[in-house]
């Protein structure tokens, strides 16, 4: 019969040592696993360092190592949205609550307005107080249509220039804008010898003559128009604003 090879016997002492080593390996593995954080490394490095550096009581420690300021600071690459072109005229614009008046005092009239003139003077306007179809009724109504200031109680036509001046209106003998109020003295160019008259400048012609709109009691609210030469216009008074 064939004889089987016999495995060499391992001494009992060696087997005991081997078993002890095998028994110890799972314990070491468990310890190693719990010692490793389960948080992904990316994105949490700063938080992890900050948590480790903070004392348990939340107070700052002088022994802590502080990162340089550059590590926490940043830069802003900004652009001045206002641009480089500043309209200096807007910085010196004369204020006026009436849009048309504001346009005129900062435009064609800027060097012409009287010294000390205040565009936002009292207007004296408390509503329509003139009888229908009178010249004063039409002047008040037309000024409102044009968006220009006018007083409610300026008196008879011949009194309008003085009444307007007292409130601060600009009044002189030069027609300047369509919408100017024309003041006729008593008996002037066919006006009433008792009350005088008022009208509105509707157009200033190239030769300096003016075209008017005017009304009167006999016209039943239907205004009429006349034309005055530049020389004639210079003898009248005009309420501007």
* Cβ proximity of 192 and 183 under 8 Å: no
Per-residue pLDDT tens over the stretch 101-150: 999 999 999 999 999 999 999 999 999 999 999 999 999 999 999 999 99
Domain range list for the chain = 131-239
pLDDT confidence of residue 87: 56
Structure tokens given for 84: 């480089």
**pLDDT bracket for residue 92 (50, 70, 90):** confident
- Per-residue pLDDT averaged across 230-239, rounded? 99
Please state whether the predicted TM-score (pTM) of the whole model is above 0.95.
no
Q: What is the 3-state secondary structure (H, E, C) of 170-207?
A: CEECCCCCCCCEEEECCCHHHCECCCEEEEEEEEECCC
Per-residue pLDDT tens over the stretch 24-80: 454 444 433 343 334 344 433 333 344 444 445 555 555 555 555 455 555 555 554
> Any idea which architecture 131-239 has in CATH?
Alpha-Beta Complex (3.90)
């Amino acid at each position: 019969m064939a004889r089987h090879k016999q495995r060499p016997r391992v001494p009992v002492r060696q087997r005991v040592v081997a078993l002890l080593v095998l028994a110890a390996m799972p314990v070491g593995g468990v310890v190693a696993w719990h010692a490793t954080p389960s948080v992904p490394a990316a994105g949490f490095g700063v938080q992890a360092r900050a948590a480790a550096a903070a004392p348990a009581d939340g107070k700052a420690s002088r022994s802590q190592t502080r990162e340089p300021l550059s590590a926490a600071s940043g830069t802003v690459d900004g652009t001045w949205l206002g641009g480089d072109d500043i309209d200096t005229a807007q910085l010196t614009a004369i204020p006026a609550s009436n849009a048309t008046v504001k346009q005129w005092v900062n435009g064609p009239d800027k060097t012409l307005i009287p010294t000390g003139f205040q565009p936002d003077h009292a207007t004296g306007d408390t509503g329509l107080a003139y009888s229908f179809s009178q010249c004063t009724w039409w002047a008040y109504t037309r000024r409102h249509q044009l968006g220009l200031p006018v007083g409610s109680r300026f008196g008879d036509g011949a009194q309008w220039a003085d009444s307007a001046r007292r409130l601060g209106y600009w009044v002189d003998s030069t027609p300047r804008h369509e919408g100017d109020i024309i003041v006729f003295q008593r008996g002037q160019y066919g006006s009433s010898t008792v009350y005088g008259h008022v009208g509105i400048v509707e157009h200033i012609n190239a030769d300096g003559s003016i075209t008017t709109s005017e009304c009167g009691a006999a016209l039943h609210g239907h205004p009429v128009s006349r034309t005055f030469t530049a020389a004639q216009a210079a003898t009248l008074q005009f309420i501007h604003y």
